Structure 1
Amino acid sequence: MKETDYLYNIRQILLFTLIYYILKKNIQKKVRRKVVDILFTFYLLTLFIEIIFFKNFISNYLPLSYFTGGLVSLLGIMYYAIERLQSKDTTPIQKDLTVWFLMGNLIFWIGYLPVYIILNNYTYFHNDVINNLIVLKKAFIIIQNSIFIFGFIISGKTYKN
Structure 2
Amino acid sequence: METILDILKNTYLTLYVSVFLISLIKFPLYKHTTLRLLPIILFLTMVTEYLGYFLKDIIYDIPLNKFIYNLYYLIHFSFFFYIFMKVIENDRFKKNIKIGLVVFWLIFLSDVVFTGIFENSFARTYIAGAAILIFCITLYYINILQSSLVLVIKNDLLFWVSVGLFLFYIGYIPIKIIRTWFYKPDSFFEILLVIQSSLIIIMYLFFLTGFLWMKKRS
TM-score scaled by length of structure 2: 0.68
Q: Give the aligned partner of residue 64 of structure 1.
A: 124
Q: How does 1:6-45 map to 2 (within 5 A)?
A: 6-45=67-106
Cα offset for 1:155? 1.0
For 1:113 and 1:90, how far apart are their aligned partners in 2?
28
Q: Give the aligned partner of residue 14 of structure 2.
A: none
Q: Structure 2 vs 1, CA of residues 89 and 148 (structure 1 numbering), >3 Å: closer, same or farther?
A: closer
Is this contact kept in 1: 2:144–2:150, CA < 8 A? no
For 2:139 and 2:66, how far apart are their aligned partners in 1?
31
Which structure is higher in helix share? 2
For 1:58 and 1:91, how far apart are their aligned partners in 2?
47
Cα offset for 1:2? 2.9
Q: Percent identity?
A: 25
Letter of the 1:26 counterpart: V
Letter of the 2:95 counterpart: K
| Residues matched between the structures, number | 157
Cα offset for 1:91? 4.7
Q: Give the aligned partner of residue 74 of structure 1.
A: 134
Q: Give the aligned partner of residue 107 of structure 2.
A: 46
Q: Give the aligned partner of residue 193 of structure 2.
A: 134
Structure 1 alignment gaps of length 5 or more: none
TM-score scaled by length of structure 1: 0.90
For residues 138-158 of structure 1, give each alpha carbon's deviation from its aligned partner in whole angstroms, at most 9, with x where no partner exists.
1111111111111111114x1
- Give runs of ≥4 in structure 1 deviating > 6 Å: none
For 1:153 and 1:89, how far apart are their aligned partners in 2?
18
Is this contact kept in 2: 1:108–1:141, CA < 8 A? yes
| Higher RCO, Cα 8 Å, sep 6+ | 2
Cα offset for 1:94? 1.2
Structure 2 alignment gaps of length 5 or more: 1-59
Q: Give the aligned partner of residue 173 of structure 2.
A: 113
Letter of the 1:136 counterpart: I
